[in-house]
């Protein structure tokens, strides 16, 4: 038998009408005789058979059978097509279909010889030269066997070089069986794995005139081409194991650390829930950990020495709380409180009668087109003069700034800056928006966002006054009544300052009660003197008039201090504007005098 090693052989048999039935039987025996001397099997030689005439028929492919008996039964069942002789079509089918990996051919990198044995008795009715060249270029070794009337030129055009070893012409079908032995000798040669010291660690594979080494499954061939090493399937990092990867002969399995079990996907690990066993005896909560569990008490309780039961904790009696007036225990914590009318300081422990004029102040300034750039700079100066007189700090006064026109923009929220210098620099960097006057939209933004705890407003329970100051120079292009009302209902003390075309009715709607004490109007940015006169220092309700006190003393003191500072700033800006106007008038008079002198000289 042929011991040269594995081959992929496809017989391409001519079954045209010129092949008579008894002659076709001789071709069957030719194929079975050659197969009987081959070492066939999935890892040895694989055999396929196709017949052709005017069309091509696949009898069985390289992957179909693994024993000689199965192949012989299939060959003996072939029914000849008995039509034309399309040899080129048959070679093309062998190249494009029969010798593909899908049909059972081994991949080219394994270097298993691919052999096509074309047996024909006549001249091809199609072109064979070009397609045979393509097949040979694809790595197929072609043997051309012609019988009786076969055309020698066509055989030579089909066969692989050297032609003397790949072209055979048999005089009759009777002699083809004698030729089978001769052809067998061509396929078979010296078994290099037997005749030479190959040195392969696992197995040796013979090829015509040579050999190569192969490794068992789960091993890879080393660079020396002979020895084998186990494949570490974990080494490439693609295993996906959450905890540990264990390499096992070319494969791998995942394992989990102690206290975990492998999930159904065989990759991830889940911690064992020891609490679910139901025997922990914890009074409050059971917490699972790797290799066990422990008991935990709810907030405000302490775990007892038995590590299972819990008892409530009074932190005010157990710690040095430092509260000046009173300590109040809560579950797992405590806080300090002050007597009614006093204010809890920033340290959260001491009490003070008043907050030293501390407020949460949001200034809403009109940046519409009618203000004009030079006047907008005056508004920015007004803002910074107010800031100069405030005790700005995270626990003192906080300042936020909103500009509006056709839209609303928060220039900075209450919790953005923590010093007067930071705020003043940010004010000077504010860019003039121009466009429309949507005062109602600005009030809505102030209520919903500017005085939210998210943007830095302190909780109402801290008794820190919330002050909104709206500065505008024209009629609003939207309704202001609803959001002006909501602002005051939410506890915001509203001041309204109007200049130029500002509408008094709108200013009064914005201002808090008493309205006369919370709004002012001036016809011009340069004549704001009377704004000062309209501000009253009497913000808090007076005692002894039969009116109900609605503000705490601390809140009133803070509001009075804020309003006093605001009046002083307006007075200063007004004086500067008057001086500027006088200087402008003097310059205008001098220019007129110069013009008259020039005219007289002419």
Residue 151 domain-assigned (yes or no): yes
Indicate whether 515 pLDDT > 50: yes
Does the residue 563 lie in any domain?
A: no
State residue 423's pLDDT score: 95
Confidence of residue 534 (pLDDT cuts 50, 70, 90): very low
What one-character DSSP code corresponds to residue 296? Answer: E
**How many CB atoms sit inside 10 A of residue 323's CB?**
19
Domain that holds residue 451: 360-538
Residues 414 and 527 in one domain: yes
322: domain CATH number is: 2.10.25.10
Beta bridge partners of 348: none
Q: Do 333 and 402 have their domain in common? A: no
Contact in structure between 553 and 338 (CB atoms under 8 Å): no
Cross-strand pairs, 147: 170
User: Where among 133, 168, 188 does a domain terminate?
Assistant: 188
Residue 229 domain-assigned?
no
Helices 68-76/21-36 angle, 10° precision: 170
- Residue 409's pLDDT is 95
Tell me: the pLDDT tens digits for 65-112? 999 999 999 999 999 999 999 999 999 999 999 999 999 999 998 888
pLDDT surpasses 60 at 392: yes
Asked, for residue 285, whether it belongs to a domain, the answer is no
**Last residue within a domain, chosen from 518, 538, 558:** 538
- For residues 329 and 440, state if they share a domain: no
Closest listed residue to residue 573, CA positions, set 537, 512, 520:
520
Which helix or strand (DSSP H or E) is residue 11 part of? strand 8-14
Question: Which residue has better confidence, 403 or 385?
Answer: 403
Where is the domain boundary, 188, 211, 234? 188
**536 has pLDDT over 60:** no
Q: What is the pLDDT of residues 466-486, one digit of tens each?
A: 999 998 988 899 999 999 999
- Does residue 114 lie in a domain region? yes
Q: First-to-last CA distance in the chain?
A: 135
- In this structure, the answer to whether residues 329 and 447 fall within a common structural domain is no
Q: How many CA atoms lie within 13 A of 181 on its CB side?
A: 3
More confident residue, 562 or 228: 228
Please write the tens of the pLDDT for every residue from 134-145. 999 999 999 998
- Number of folded domains that form the chain: 3
> What average pLDDT score do residues 213-239 get?
86
Mean pLDDT for 353-379 is 81
Per-residue pLDDT averaged across 121-132, rounded? 91
CA separation, residue 102 to residues 61, 110, 514 (Å): 10, 15, 94
pLDDT at 568: 64
Are 387 and 336 in a shared domain? no
Whether residues 371 and 334 share a domain: the answer is no
Long-range Cβ contacts of 536-541 (<8 Å, 24+ apart): 536/563, 537/563, 537/564, 537/567, 539/563
How far is 135 from 131, CA to CA, in rounded Å? 6
Whether 403 and 487 map to the same domain: the answer is yes
Per-state percent for the chain, helix, strand, coil, to nearest 5: 35, 25, 40
Residues 334 and 401 in one domain: no
The pLDDT > 70 percentage for the chain reads 82
The reply to whether 403 and 502 lie within a common domain is: yes
Residues in the chain: 602
Residues 329 and 389 both lie in one domain:
no
Query: How do residues 282-294 score in pLDDT, each as one tens digit?
Result: 999 999 888 888 9
* Percent above pLDDT 90 for the chain: 39
Whether residues 321 and 426 fall in one domain: no
The answer to whether residue 14 sits within a structural domain is yes
What value does the mean pLDDT of the chain take? Answer: 83
Mean pLDDT of 191-206: 82
pLDDT in tens, 408-430: 999 999 999 999 999 999 999 99
How many degrees, rounded to 5, is the angle at CA 217 between CA 211 and CA 221? 50
pLDDT value, residue 181:
63
In a domain, 305, yes or no: no
Where does the pLDDT of residue 563 fall: very low under 50, low under 70, confident under 90, or very high at 90 and above?
Answer: low
Output the domain CATH number for residue 422: 3.40.50.410
> Is 252 within a domain?
no
On whether both 337 and 482 belong to a single domain, the answer is no
Cα-based distances in Å from 595 to 337, 583, 586, 598: 76, 19, 14, 5
Distances (CA, A) of 186 to 33, 117, 154, 216: 14, 12, 21, 31
CB 423 within 8 A of CB 371: no
pLDDT of the residue at 176? 65
d(CA 405, CA 90): 84
């Amino acid at each position: 038998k042929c011991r040269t090693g594995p081959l992929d052989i496809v017989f391409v048999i001519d079954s045209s009408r010129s092949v008579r039935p008894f002659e076709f039987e001789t071709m069957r025996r030719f194929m079975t005789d050659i197969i009987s001397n081959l070492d066939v099997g999935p890892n040895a030689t694989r055999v396929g058979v196709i017949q052709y005439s005017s069309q091509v028929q696949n009898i069985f492919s390289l992957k179909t059978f693994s024993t000689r008996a199965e192949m012989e039964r299939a060959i003996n069942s072939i029914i000849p097509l008995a039509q034309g002789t399309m040899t080129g079509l048959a070679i093309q089918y062998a190249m494009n279909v029969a010798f593909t990996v899908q049909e059972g051919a081994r991949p080219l990198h394994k270097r298993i010889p691919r052999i096509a044995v074309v047996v024909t008795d006549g001249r091809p009715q199609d072109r064979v030269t070009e397609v045979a060249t393509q097949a040979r270029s694809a790595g197929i070794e072609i043997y051309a066997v012609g019988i009786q009337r076969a055309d020698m030129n066509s055989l030579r055009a089909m066969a692989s070089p050297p032609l003397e070893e790949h072209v055979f012409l048999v005089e009759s079908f009777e002699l083809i069986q004698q030729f089978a032995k001769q052809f067998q000798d061509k396929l078979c040669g010296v078994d290099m794995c037997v005749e030479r010291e190959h040195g392969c660690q696992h197995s040796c594979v013979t090829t015509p005139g040579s050999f190569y080494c192969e490794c068992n499954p789960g091993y890879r061939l080393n660079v020396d081409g002979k020895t084998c090493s186990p494949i570490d399937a974990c080494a490439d990092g693609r295993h996906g194991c959450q905890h540990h990867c264990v390499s096992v002969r070319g494969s791998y399995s995942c394992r989990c650390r102690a206290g975990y079990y492998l999930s159904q996907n065989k990759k991830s690990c889940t911690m064992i829930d020891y609490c679910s066993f139901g025997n922990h005896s914890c009074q409050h909560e059971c917490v699972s950990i790797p290799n066990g569990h422990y008991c935990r008490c709810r907030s405000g309780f302490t775990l007892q020495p038995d590590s299972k039961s819990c008892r409530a904790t009074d932190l005010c009696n157990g710690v040095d709380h430092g509260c000046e007036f009173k300590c109040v225990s809560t579950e797992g914590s405590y806080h300090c409180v002050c007597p009614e009318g006093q204010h809890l300081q920033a340290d959260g422990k001491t009490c003070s009668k008043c907050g030293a004029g501390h407020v949460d102040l949001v200034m809403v300034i009109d940046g519409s087109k009618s203000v004009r750039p030079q006047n907008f700079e005056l508004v920015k100066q007004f803002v910074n003069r107010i800031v100069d007189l405030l005790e700005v700090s995270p626990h003192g006064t906080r300042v936020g700034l909103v500009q509006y026109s056709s839209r609303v923009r928060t220039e900075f929220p209450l919790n953005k800056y923590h010093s007067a210098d930071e705020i003043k620099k940010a004010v000077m960097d504010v860019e003039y928006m121009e466009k429309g006057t949507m005062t109602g939209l600005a009030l809505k933004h102030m209520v919903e966002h500017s005085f939210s705890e998210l943007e830095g407003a302190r909780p109402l329970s801290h008794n820190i006054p919330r002050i909104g100051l709206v500065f505008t120079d024209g009629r609003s292009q939207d309704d202001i009544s609803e959001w002006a009302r909501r602002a005051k209902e939410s506890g915001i003390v509203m001041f309204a300052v109007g200049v130029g075309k500002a509408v008094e009715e709108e200013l009064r709607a914005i201002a808090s009660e008493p309205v006369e004490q919370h709004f002012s109007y001036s016809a011009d940015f340069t004549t704001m003197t009377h704004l000062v006169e309209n501000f009253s220092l009497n913000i808090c309700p007076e005692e002894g008039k039969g009116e109900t006190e609605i503000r705490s003393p601390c809140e009133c003191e803070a509001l009075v201090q804020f309003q006093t500072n605001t009046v002083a700033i307006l007075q200063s800006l007004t004086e500067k504007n008057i001086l500027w106007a006088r200087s402008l008038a003097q310059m205008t008079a001098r220019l007129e005098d110069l013009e008259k002198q020039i005219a007289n000289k002419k």
